[in-house]
Structure 1
């Protein structure tokens, strides 16, 4: 592949355009940023929430492919401090703390979704 010319595949172009657009919104509105590990943890938690199976803190800390329990606990704490995650306790069971996305997180994913849509529209235009 010629490295001086951009790829002519519409799918490659669409994905690269998405990455460009997503890069613009990676910073949170107040200028805070999430590192790649925080993003991966947030995505795992939100995906489970989206599937109507909220993840408990214990389950999140057990995601060995994302880090050690101590590291994951620190990441959960940082995501809470950034107002990206909150806890939900079910009535009758105060021990299990479920991680749920905040409105800020939903807005963040809304912006990413809009970037994907814009990248797709640009690729078919």
Structure 2
């Protein structure tokens, strides 16, 4: 298998696992701490807006390449195996039927809120320094 095929398979597993967490968040068998982390990860992963825009060199892809897969990996480890398998089947079915991953407007609002808060904080810091 070539390195490009390995990367392509890894990326498709990450996408599927993000949708799996979307199902796990709603599953009654998921522990509360895994649900809390899943809510954050799903909101961010399925958000149409990135926290760090991709046009920023190196940093723009850092969240997509390291932060998000790490959070997904951690969250997957917190979910019981039986629940995880059921949610993966649901995610696979969803992606085959819909042809795409769902979108999270909550995640977009969360990212915008972080950017606005950072802008206001930077503005307040700049005003106090002047």
TM range (shorter): 0.3 to 0.5
**TM-score, length basis structure 2:** 0.33
Higher relative contact order (CA 8 A, sep 6+): 2
Greater share of residues in strand: 1
Greater share of residues in helix: 2
**TM-score, length basis structure 1:** 0.34
